[in-house]
A and B are shown apart, each in its own frame.
Chain A
Amino acid sequence: MRKPEPQVDWEARSVTIVLGVMTATAVVVLIAPSVVILLTSFTDSASLRFPPPGFSLRWYRALFDADQMQAAAWNSLLVALWSTLLSAVLGVAAAVAVSRSRSWTARALDGLFMSPLLLPALAFGFAALIFVYRMGMRPNLLFLIFGHVIVCVPFVIRTTLAALSQLDASLEDASISLGATPAMHFRRVTLPLISRGVGAGAFLAFMASFDNVPVSLFLADERTEVLPIHLWQQIETNLDVRTAAASGVIIVVTMALMALAERFAGLSKQMR
Chain B
Amino acid sequence: MEWRRLSLALPLAALFVVFFIAPLFVLLGVSLSTDMDTHTFTFAHYVKFFTDRFNYSILTDTLLLGLKATAVCFVFGYPVAWIAARARPGLQSILLLAVILPIMTSVVVRTFAWIVILGRQGLLNQIVLGLGLSEEPLRLLFTEWGVVIVLAQVQMPLMVLPILSILAKIDPNLADASRALGAGEWRTLWRVTLPLSVPGVIAGWILTYAACVTAFVTQSLIGGARLVYMPLHIYQQAVGANNWPFAAAISIIFMIAVLCVVAGLNLLAAKSQRHAQA
Q: Which residues of A contact B (CB under 8 A)?
A: 1-2, 9, 11-12, 14-15, 18-20, 22-23, 25-27, 29-34, 36-37, 40, 48-50, 90-91, 93-94, 96-98, 101, 103, 105-106, 109, 112-113, 116-124, 126-131, 134, 143, 146-147, 149-150, 153, 207, 210-211, 213-214, 217-218, 227-228, 231-232, 235-236, 239, 243-244, 247, 250-251, 254-255, 257-258, 262, 267-268, 271-272
Choice from A32, A98, A149, A255 contacting B15 with Cβ under 8 Å: A149
In angstroms, how far is the closest chain B Cβ from the Cβ of A87? 9
- The answer, yes or no, to whether B276 is at the interface (CB within 8 Å) is no
B97 lies within 8 A of A50 (CB): no
Q: Determine, out of B44-52, B53-61, B104-112, the stretch whose residues face the partner at the interface.
A: B104-112
Choice from A11, A37, A149, A254 contacting B113 with Cβ under 8 Å: A37
Are A231 and B16 also in contact (CB < 8 A) when A120-B255, A126-B238, A131-B22 are?
no
In angstroms, how far is the closest chain A Cβ from the Cβ of B6? 5
Contact with A along B1-45 (1 / 0, CB 8 A): 010011111011101100111111011001000000000000000
Residue of B nearest to A50 (CB): B123
Choice from B92, B93, B101 contacting A34 with Cβ under 8 Å: B101
A90 lies within 8 A of B97 (CB): no
- The answer, yes or no, to whether B206 is at the interface (CB within 8 Å) is yes
Q: Which residues in A have their C-beta under 8 angstroms from that of B19? A: 128, 131, 143, 146-147, 150
* Bound-complex Cα distance A208 to B126 (A): 34
A123 lies within 8 A of B112 (CB): no
Q: Which residues in A have their C-beta under 8 angstroms from that of B221? A: 232, 235-236
* Bound-complex Cα distance A258 to B106 (A): 13
Q: Which residues in B have their C-beta under 8 angstroms from that of A214? A: 214, 216, 231
* Bound-complex Cα distance A40 to B116 (A): 9
Q: Which residues in B have their C-beta under 8 angstroms from that of A101? A: 2, 5-6
Are A26 and B79 also in contact (CB < 8 A) when A34-B101, A90-B12, A101-B2 are?
yes
A150 lies within 8 A of B20 (CB): yes
Residue of A nearest to B250 (CB): A123
A268 lies within 8 A of B22 (CB): no
A91 lies within 8 A of B12 (CB): yes
- The answer, yes or no, to whether B117 is at the interface (CB within 8 Å) is yes
